[in-house]
Structure 1
Amino acid sequence: MKKRGKYLLILVFTIILFSFIQFGFADLFTVITQGDFNNGTYSNTEYNVSGFVQLSAGNLTGNYTSKVFDGAENTTWNNLTWIEGVPYGEDLPANEAVETVLGGANMTGNILLMHLNETSGQFIDSSGHSNTGNIIGEVHYNQPGKLGQGVMFNRTTATAIQMTGTTDFDVGDTLSVEFWFKRRNTGNFGDASTSEVFVREGTTSFVLGIIWHVIGIANNQHIRFGIKTGTGKTIDTASTFNDTNWHHIAAVYNSSDMLLYVDGVFENSTTHTGNLAASTNNITIGTITNQFAPNATMDEVAIYNRSLTAAEILNHYKRGALKLNLSVQSCDDSVCSGESFTSVDDATPQQLSIASNRYFQYKFDFETDNISYTPELYNVTLDYKSVFPNMTSMDLMGKVSNTSITINLINGHENSSTYVEYGSTSGAAGSYSDTTTVQNVTNDTLIEFDITGLTTNTVYYYRVRSKRLDESTYATTDERSFRTRRASYPFNFTLISDMHVDPTWPETSADLKKILANMSLNDNSDFVMSLGDNIQPGVGDGAINNETWATSEYVLLRESLHPDYNSIPFLMAIGNWEGEPGWIDSTNLSLARSIRQKFVPNPTNTTYVQGGGDYEDYYAFTWGNALFIVLNVMSYTPVNPSDNSMENWTLGSTQLTWFNNTLKNATEPWKFVIIHHTAGGNWTGAAAAAWTKYGRGGGRAAYSGEQATIQQMMVDNDVRIMFLGHDHLFTDMIENKTHYIVVGNAGYGLAFTAGYGSYYNDSKGRAKVEVLSDEITKVYYITEEELSSANVTIDRMPPRINIVSPSNDSGDTDGNITFIFNVTDASTIENCTFFFNNAINQSNTSMVKDLNTNFTINNLAAGNYAWFINCTDYNFNTNYVVNYTFHGGNYTPNMNTTGLRTFSVITNSEFSGNTTDLSQVNVSNISNLIMEVPSLGMINFTTNVDLSNGTNLDNNVNISQNRIEVNSTALPELNTTATLTLYNLTFTNPRVLKDGAVCSDCTEVSYTNNNFIFNVTSFSIYTAGETPTATAGTSTSGSGVQGGETPPPESEEGPNSFLVDYDYLEIREIELELGDTIKFIWDEITLEIIIENTEERKVDINEDGYSDVLITFSETEGIITAKLEKIEPRLSPELREGIQLNKNLKTFGLIGLVILIGIIALGTFFAIKSIGHGHYHKKKK
């Protein structure tokens, strides 16, 4: 191998990304032949001449350990690939996939695939057919399964996973069902009539297919497979299952045969033909019938609309019955002394995550459930890459916007040719879509690549390719990634401060490495930002006058920003130790700026639309829905405050104006201000004057010097957080609604704690910030030991108040009101206050979020009342390990109000039934207001009514027997149109009376079942009276109506009783049933008859011996129709005697005839009744 020269590349990507540059060439070790495998060690394993390693005969377990591979130099071991007999231990593939590996599954025709790995809720169908499983009864999730997790069923009750029946399960004449199961215990359970149902379509009959476990005497502990085409048919396994081992069952119907397989082996078959009946029956795993659930745990249930082959079934069995478990180790010596194997995922290929070392070794553990089968290990390929060159610095990535990024590198100590390749798809799967131009640069020279034309909120992958100018092949770094600016929430970022990296304090850089390595692994941050004091070049508020020393500190800083794991951009603010105070001479200030910009490039004043300073020392940008403003309190303060007063601290007029305008123009909900320390100071205790001048105090300095102006700008523009460093501790102090959060220290352990009410300074660490929504941002302080030691949740939105009752503008009927509400918020509720008629009535300072609570007022008189509720929160939450939030009395909570609401007390306790529930309506505009007293009457107002002033309905509305009245003088709002109903009247033909007289503007609607309904146009006293009947001598019309009256309806008097008025009867047909009653009314006589048969009958209503009505019957399709006909004329006995007399006196001639006519006329006024064929009784009024 050609010896490679060593040279240094320092990658600088300006917001900044960490990782070693690792150039090198990919190489492979392969183990294919018996000779290759024989270089390793067999334990209860052996090489099969067919080309694979297997278990030795008679062994259920064993292992194979490879030789130690030598990478010749420090090596990255990338991935391990091997071939195995089948994909051991892997779930069946989803979405009807066809695996192309050895022994892979063909899932074509798979219509249900339940892996049963869920821990709660529904079970997901992985077949791609979305046949989601719902739970019936009790199932036990998350049980040890054959492949991952399984589900255990409850034998004693109906318990099942049920899928809705769809056309997916109309399988025609081919079907396969397979699953794993494990009995919960052994023994004989029940008799032959008791079954354990595993998989079924339908409930009680064969439809698609049934597999159940029959427990009993005749078929004790066999598996049975049943289907139904034209007829049903079943077959049983030869095997019984009286053990608690896992077993694989497969049942197949191939249009001519039914077959059963147990643990991959064919067991039984029978012939059968025909299509399985199509249906929409639900599919169940288990059963919905009590005591038929499987006494077992199940796993990996699959249904197919085709017949599986015997080979497929065997391979599916082997997936679960055999195991091939991989473990690996990298070593610093050729015999791997002192190292230990680490188990990794058992799926091939396996991307390795293992320390870079020269040597490497792997081991496979073999296991089988079945002595007849062994795992098979074929070719093994090991991909590795020499670490070249060995770097001691990091790459930095910056100026990320929505469409661009700058990758900035500082070349190493040899001339090189370098470019970047990138794309939105990982290059590991192929080539990158784009490359930059190649730059040839001399040693120790800046290289910068500006990449534009990117897509917003997109992850891009890249790697740097470089070679020495005298080489022909490019070496390649590991792949890294970055994200263009996010469009919204959620996102994370990390803050560090006060590292004070210095060669004389090596522990500072070591601690920083550890903190950032953990951040890279665990924070999922889009970028990291330092709040200043990154280096320690002499005097904290003085100049850099030694370029060599300052450069060495920045080099050490770059080497410290070194997580090997992820790509994380980096920005910084200017602290008091960067050597850039505004009061030093311009030469030294320019030197400090140039060194910083070389090693840690920040956004320029044109990088983002928000602009910034000319020297990359203050700037603003948006990320997601948040605005970040980074301020510089050092470089624009012209007089040293430490020698004078904290009043000298200033952003300078240009920066201050830019800051104010940036805030005013911002539309983002969250605005984060980042600064090293306040533009003021406030310190107590020892050296109070000195530390105050030095800008200490965090939030306690909110109203000092120019910081008071900044504070007011933040309040005016809803800035909720200012992040600070400088005091080397973590704390959160609230001023008004702005949180002053000091983010701790990431390198220099000295803390300045005097005067702080609450703080954490026990360990170095970082602040992780989670921006979750428009409402919530969480800040965690995570120590160097990776412990979350403090946190605060900042809530920028007020509580949400949900009123349960009463509804706005609603009514109350008894004057006792309970105001029920609940409050939702991210923070602790501080207080809820109830205002009644514009005065504080009650308060609750112990609110529990999201639970209903109430305020109550009693004994209110009728009237209209106004009310509202105000709730405040603490705008922060402390439900974590330790809270370090405090405020100095200037705290303003978030407050929300329900707004003014009203209700009216309207007493109506005397009304019930269908009476309108006034608590559920807007009482200022009630439509169809109903007031009812059951059995007496009801008012239904037909125009909208306004009762919002409150009133006493009990005193002004009366509904009594045959009487409805409204005091329209007291209640003019009720003097409107309405429909009235009087219940339980006894009139035959009632009419409406208004104030005792016939109502001329009322409209009668109906009189049915003694309930009289009529409409009115206004209100007074309404009653009903009988409509007078015509008197004798009044002329009659052809219809039999006397005196021009409208006859009363011949109506039903109940569901089985019919009312007939003889005076108006000519011919009438009635549909009735045997047992029904006909009630005849004639003048003051009432006769009721019960229809017991359909024989013709005559009815004598007045019992004078002569028939008055003829009733005949007909029946069509079971319906009986009674025809009633009046018999005319009706002759009294006196009249008949007169006729006989006339015969005797016929000789009397004309005189006798005149007398006869007179007698006939007189006889027509007698009442005649005739008894019909039914039973009857008479009733006189």
Structure 2
Amino acid sequence: MKYVAKNRAYTVSAVLLIGLLVLAACQAVPAMEAPPAKDKKAGAAGGGVSDTSRPASDYRAITGGAFLAPCIVARPTDRSVVVSVVPGEEVLAYVEYRAEGSQQVLRTETALLGGGKPHEIPIEGLEKDTRYYYGLMYKSASDTDFKPADSGTFMTQRSEGSTFTFGVQGDSHPERPQQFDPALYMRTMQNAREYDPDFYLTSGDDFSIEKLGKITQEGVEGLYLEQRRYLGVIGNSSPLFIVNGNHENTARYLIDGRADNPAVWGQNARNAYFPQPAPDAFYSGDPEYVEHIGLLRDYFAFTWGDALFVVIDYYWHSMIPVDTSLAGGDKNGDPWLKTIDDNQYAWLKKTLEESTSKYKFVFTHHVLGFGRGGTDLASLYEWGGYGKNGKWEFAEKRPGWGMPIHELMAENGVTIFFQGHDHVFVRQELDGVTYQTLPLPADPYRTLYFASAYEAETKLAGPGHVRVTVAPDAVTLDYIASRIDSMSGEIMNDEVVHSYTLFAKE
């Protein structure tokens, strides 16, 4: 159904809606209110899983609402955004919205939404570089009148010269109790939400399917719904960009022509519960159509303010398992067969070379898609051109590419390359490119994972996430710690434990 903005004759006071976001205390709070005061009670050393956490799967019971997860905003452009909702039952729904500083409230058309699956409500005709406030209104079969379900805010594309923030997190791994505490993850979401980032990126391994036992479509979709209940806390007001990881097993090697396939289930769930960009007038990206999926939406790029943002993917473009293998394949196959492929490389080259942005950020799950380390691996295979034996093999193995990926980033002034996979905060630099490895966002034991794989001065354990402030003259990256009351130590929740600034290149 097409949604059209319509003028409404009432004032903004009529659209101040109750937000139904889950917070650590598991209470609903108004999403349009100022964020809660910073919690400075919890510390750093020591460990242990919180015994007061409550699963995000309690979302519907807590809110008493008709929706299975918070609504999120997605695919922002200069003129539009998508609001994604997951009703638990059939409802009539529409979205009201207004620009900051305006008393004029607009709305989408009312739509009938089926229960138990995600739906997208597009909002179009917006103004560039503008903050909007929105509210979701709904009516179920038992209701006489429409009532508020959720509310939030979002920004349209920033203009050049603007200052803005975005957030990034490392692997969340909800399937691993030794690396994931629900209350701690919720605290990370709250910390990120507090500074109103324009958008928020993951780095993969958020939907690990191999621990499901018998893998079914229902089980796979359940992982994405459960993660939506956490990421919805930040995604309610900061659009989410989801990077593919090895444990998702949304990967080319599994495709066999059948719809009844874990990779198909996973990619379709990802794009349904977390709407991602497809190539259009605002985003560039993967044009490939895959049977039973459609457009993959796995790699893409866009410009925001003075910065270019680029997401790349290994797993949908390698014919063999890159790392994790579900089908009994050998993940230790020839590393030269693990690739972003010719088409993605050509797109990446064109995107970087044609961009005039002052800053350029590149995101993927990991250098090469496998292994441990950052710049420590940057000389190898298609990333650096050398084989494991130390011989230059790039010209033979990647004819027509011109240069390895790292050199391509360095030649085109990439500011920061972001990766996850190794579960540790590490900052490195090579040829003017900062390599930033991301920590776990919910690790209750604060383990310094894979530190020996890195040659670096700065190595810090999780949990926490990264905030990046982009300003006309510099980029500042802050590592923000997450803590809950059961954690002792000196570092407090929401504390910046490491920070650095990169000045704009001439």
**TM-score w.r.t. length of structure 1:** 0.33
Q: Is the counterpart of residue 499 in structure 1 residue 172 in structure 2?
A: yes
Paired residue for 2:485? Answer: none
Using a 3 Å threshold, how does the CA distance of structure 1 residues 426 and 470 change in structure 2: closer, same or farther?
A: farther
Paired residue for 1:768? Answer: 467
- The higher-RCO structure (CA 8 Å, 6+ apart) is 2
- Cα drift, residue 472 of structure 1: 2.0
The residue type paired with residue 416 of structure 1 is V
Partners of 2:241 and 2:450 in 1: how far apart? 25
Given that residues 630 and 674 in structure 1 are in contact (C-alpha distance below 8 angstroms), is that contact kept between their aligned partners in structure 2? yes
Q: Is the counterpart of residue 490 in structure 1 residue 163 in structure 2?
A: yes
SS in 2 for 1:494: strand
Partners of 1:615 and 1:695 in 2: how far apart? 25
Q: Is the counterpart of residue 789 in structure 1 residue 497 in structure 2?
A: yes
Alignment of 1:469-548 (within 5 A): 469-488=141-160, 489-502=162-175, 507-521=180-194, 523-538=195-210, 545-548=215-218
Match of 2:366 among 677, 681, 686: 677
Partners of 2:181 and 2:66 in 1: how far apart? 22
Alignment of 1:383-462 (within 5 A): 388-389=64-65, 393-412=69-88, 414-425=89-100, 432-462=104-134
SS in 2 for 1:706: helix
Partners of 2:274 and 2:134 in 1: how far apart? 20
Given that residues 182 and 442 in structure 2 are in contact (C-alpha distance below 8 angstroms), is that contact kept between their aligned partners in structure 1? yes
Q: Is the counterpart of residue 608 in structure 1 residue 282 in structure 2?
A: yes
Using a 3 Å threshold, how does the CA distance of structure 1 residues 354 and 605 change in structure 2: closer, same or farther?
A: closer
SS in 2 for 1:561: helix
SS in 1 for 2:252: coil
Q: Is the counterpart of residue 632 in structure 1 residue 308 in structure 2?
A: no
Using a 3 Å threshold, how does the CA distance of structure 1 residues 78 and 398 change in structure 2: closer, same or farther?
A: closer
Structure 1 stretches lacking a partner, 5+ long? 1-17, 23-73, 80-350, 356-385, 681-693, 799-1181
Given that residues 73 and 236 in structure 2 are in contact (C-alpha distance below 8 angstroms), is that contact kept between their aligned partners in structure 1? no
Given that residues 778 and 792 in structure 1 are in contact (C-alpha distance below 8 angstroms), is that contact kept between their aligned partners in structure 2? yes
Given that residues 500 and 508 in structure 1 are in contact (C-alpha distance below 8 angstroms), is that contact kept between their aligned partners in structure 2? no
Given that residues 28 and 63 in structure 2 are in contact (C-alpha distance below 8 angstroms), is that contact kept between their aligned partners in structure 1? yes
Given that residues 539 and 577 in structure 1 are in contact (C-alpha distance below 8 angstroms), is that contact kept between their aligned partners in structure 2? no
Using a 3 Å threshold, how does the CA distance of structure 1 residues 392 and 727 change in structure 2: closer, same or farther?
A: same
SS in 2 for 1:760: strand
Structure 2 stretches lacking a partner, 5+ long? 1-17, 38-61, 288-294, 323-330, 385-403, 483-492
The Cα RMSD (Å) is 3.1
Given that residues 439 and 461 in structure 2 are in contact (C-alpha distance below 8 angstroms), is that contact kept between their aligned partners in structure 1? no
Alignment of 1:320-335 (within 5 A): none
Using a 3 Å threshold, how does the CA distance of structure 1 residues 565 and 437 change in structure 2: closer, same or farther?
A: closer
Given that residues 574 and 632 in structure 1 are in contact (C-alpha distance below 8 angstroms), is that contact kept between their aligned partners in structure 2? yes
Using a 3 Å threshold, how does the CA distance of structure 1 residues 484 and 745 change in structure 2: closer, same or farther?
A: same
Paired residue for 1:572? Answer: 242
- Cα drift, residue 597 of structure 1: 1.3
Using a 3 Å threshold, how does the CA distance of structure 1 residues 546 and 769 change in structure 2: closer, same or farther?
A: same
Q: Is the counterpart of residue 561 in structure 1 residue 234 in structure 2?
A: no
- Cα drift, residue 424 of structure 1: 1.1
Q: Is the counterpart of residue 654 in structure 1 residue 343 in structure 2?
A: yes
Paired residue for 1:1152? Answer: none
SS in 2 for 1:583: helix
Paired residue for 2:333? Answer: 644
Partners of 2:189 and 2:440 in 1: how far apart? 12
- Cα drift, residue 511 of structure 1: 2.0
Partners of 2:463 and 2:336 in 1: how far apart? 31
Match of 1:623 among 300, 304, 325: 304
Q: Is the counterpart of residue 667 in structure 1 residue 356 in structure 2?
A: yes
Partners of 2:415 and 2:210 in 1: how far apart? 35
Partners of 2:79 and 2:315 in 1: how far apart? 32
SS in 2 for 1:563: helix
Match of 1:732 among 427, 445, 468: 427
- Cα drift, residue 435 of structure 1: 1.1
Q: Is the counterpart of residue 780 in structure 1 residue 478 in structure 2?
A: yes
- 1:685-724 Cα distance to aligned partner (Å, 9 max, x none): xxxxxxxxx3321121111111121111112211121111
Greater per-residue strand proportion: 1
- 1:1077-1107 Cα distance to aligned partner (Å, 9 max, x none): xxxxxxxxxxxxxxxxxxxxxxxxxxxxxxx
The residue type paired with residue 756 of structure 1 is Y
Partners of 1:585 and 1:563 in 2: how far apart? 33
The residue type paired with residue 574 of structure 1 is N
Given that residues 133 and 152 in structure 2 are in contact (C-alpha distance below 8 angstroms), is that contact kept between their aligned partners in structure 1? yes
SS in 2 for 1:620: strand
Using a 3 Å threshold, how does the CA distance of structure 1 residues 651 and 544 change in structure 2: closer, same or farther?
A: farther
- Cα drift, residue 741 of structure 1: 0.8
- Cα drift, residue 486 of structure 1: 0.3
Partners of 2:307 and 2:440 in 1: how far apart? 24
Larger Rg: 1
Match of 1:595 among 269, 274, 279: 269
Partners of 1:449 and 1:732 in 2: how far apart? 39
- Cα drift, residue 609 of structure 1: 4.3
Using a 3 Å threshold, how does the CA distance of structure 1 residues 566 and 75 change in structure 2: closer, same or farther?
A: closer
The residue type paired with residue 424 of structure 1 is A
- Cα drift, residue 755 of structure 1: 3.1
Given that residues 21 and 28 in structure 2 are in contact (C-alpha distance below 8 angstroms), is that contact kept between their aligned partners in structure 1? no
Alignment of 1:77-88 (within 5 A): none
The residue type paired with residue 517 of structure 1 is Q
Using a 3 Å threshold, how does the CA distance of structure 1 residues 514 and 696 change in structure 2: closer, same or farther?
A: same
Alignment of 1:335-354 (within 5 A): none
The residue type paired with residue 209 of structure 2 is P
Partners of 2:364 and 2:272 in 1: how far apart? 22
- Cα drift, residue 465 of structure 1: 0.5
The residue type paired with residue 201 of structure 2 is M
- Cα drift, residue 562 of structure 1: 4.7
SS in 2 for 1:779: strand
SS in 2 for 1:792: strand
Partners of 1:566 and 1:591 in 2: how far apart? 24
Alignment of 1:679-828 (within 5 A): 679=368, 694-708=370-384, 709-748=404-443, 751-757=449-455, 758-773=457-472, 775-784=473-482, 785-797=493-505
- 1:196-224 Cα distance to aligned partner (Å, 9 max, x none): xxxxxxxxxxxxxxxxxxxxxxxxxxxxx
Given that residues 286 and 297 in structure 2 are in contact (C-alpha distance below 8 angstroms), is that contact kept between their aligned partners in structure 1? yes
- Cα drift, residue 584 of structure 1: 1.9
Paired residue for 1:463? Answer: 135
Partners of 2:204 and 2:252 in 1: how far apart? 16
- 1:15-48 Cα distance to aligned partner (Å, 9 max, x none): xxx96369xxxxxxxxxxxxxxxxxxxxxxxxxx
SS in 2 for 1:740: strand
Given that residues 20 and 30 in structure 2 are in contact (C-alpha distance below 8 angstroms), is that contact kept between their aligned partners in structure 1? no
Given that residues 501 and 556 in structure 1 are in contact (C-alpha distance below 8 angstroms), is that contact kept between their aligned partners in structure 2? no
Partners of 2:183 and 2:310 in 1: how far apart? 30
Given that residues 780 and 790 in structure 1 are in contact (C-alpha distance below 8 angstroms), is that contact kept between their aligned partners in structure 2? yes
- 1:246-287 Cα distance to aligned partner (Å, 9 max, x none): xxxxxxxxxxxxxxxxxxxxxxxxxxxxxxxxxxxxxxxxxx
Q: Is the counterpart of residue 585 in structure 1 residue 255 in structure 2?
A: yes
SS in 1 for 2:185: helix
SS in 1 for 2:132: strand
- Cα drift, residue 494 of structure 1: 0.5
SS in 1 for 2:134: strand
Alignment of 1:111-130 (within 5 A): none
Given that residues 648 and 705 in structure 1 are in contact (C-alpha distance below 8 angstroms), is that contact kept between their aligned partners in structure 2? no
- Cα drift, residue 745 of structure 1: 1.6
Given that residues 439 and 447 in structure 1 are in contact (C-alpha distance below 8 angstroms), is that contact kept between their aligned partners in structure 2? no
Using a 3 Å threshold, how does the CA distance of structure 1 residues 572 and 387 change in structure 2: closer, same or farther?
A: closer
Given that residues 403 and 454 in structure 1 are in contact (C-alpha distance below 8 angstroms), is that contact kept between their aligned partners in structure 2? yes
**TM-score w.r.t. length of structure 2:** 0.74
